[in-house]
Amino acid sequence: MINLANSVKVMIEILGLKYPPIGVKFFAEIQQLEGFEIPAGRRYCQILMGAREGKKYLLTAENIACPAAAWALGFKEPPSTLSSGEMPFAMGIFASPEAVRNTLATMPRLEMGKYRMVAAFPLGESPFEPDVVVVESEPEHLMWIALAKVFRTGGRLQFNTAILQATCVDVTILPFITRKMNASLGCYGCREATSLIESECVLGFPIEDLDEIVTSLQKLNERAIPRVRGKTIYKALLDRKS
Alpha carbons 4 and 48: distance in angstroms, whole number: 17
Question: Residues 186-218: pLDDT tens digits?
Answer: 999 999 999 999 999 999 999 999 999 999 999
Name the nearest CA neighbour of 200 among 120, 133, 140. 140
How many whole angstroms from its chain centre is CA 77? 23
**What residue ranges do the domains of the chain occupy?**
4-29+41-59+118-241
pLDDT at position 98: 98
Alpha carbons 174 and 206: distance in angstroms, whole number: 9
Q: What is the largest CA-CA distance in the chain?
A: 66
Q: For 98-153, where are the E strands, in sequence order?
A: 117-122, 132-137
Helix, strand, coil share of the chain (percent; to 5): 45, 15, 40
Question: Residues 39-90: pLDDT tens digits?
Answer: 999 999 999 999 999 999 999 999 999 999 999 999 999 999 999 999 999 9
pLDDT at position 209: 98
CA separation, residue 242 to residues 100, 229, 234, 236 (Å): 53, 22, 13, 10
pLDDT at position 1: 64
